[in-house]
Amino acid sequence: MNMFDEIISLREQLNTKLKTFGKEAFIEGFAPFFAANPDVEGVLWEQYTPYFNDGDTCEFGVREPIVILNEATARSIRPDGEWDEDNEYFAMEHPRCFEEYDLCETPYDFKNTGFHDLWQKIPEEIFKSVFGDHVQVRIMRDGTVEVEEYEHD
């Protein structure tokens, strides 16, 4: 095996480990947040490299996280929401999904729950290495991790 083959092999091994251990790290990292906030059922976000090119290089980015609250708590915050539970959580308009600004005056404020500090310390390269590009990610309280392709402009 020549040196290039070895480098390629090492890179493939690293990518596999990052995906495997990375998902486990997210589950473990989010566990204290879920434990401290029993009304939170999950967290979801989008991550992608924009397609639009205005002459500048398009750079990968992770969008703001969205918290999925249990129905009773969500109804207390959004009593007049449309409660069609057939909507998938991946749809941002799901009545149990809340962005940071939706929760700033509630007990689920991202800063008060400790989620903001956790989220800010994860480098974007880790998000991309673990979950990929052009995806929407959902991590649930029970440790379920779902990744779906994400269509964007």
The pLDDT tens digits along the chain (153 residues) read: 789 889 999 989 988 888 889 999 999 999 988 998 999 999 999 999 988 766 678 899 999 999 999 988 988 888 776 666 665 555 556 788 888 888 888 888 888 888 888 899 999 999 999 999 999 999 999 999 999 999 887
Confidence (pLDDT) at 78: 80
Confidence (pLDDT) at 1: 73
Confidence (pLDDT) at 88: 59
Taking a C-beta distance cutoff of 8 angstroms, is the pair 134, 149 a contact? Answer: yes
CA angle, residues 57, 63, 67, in degrees to nearest 5: 175
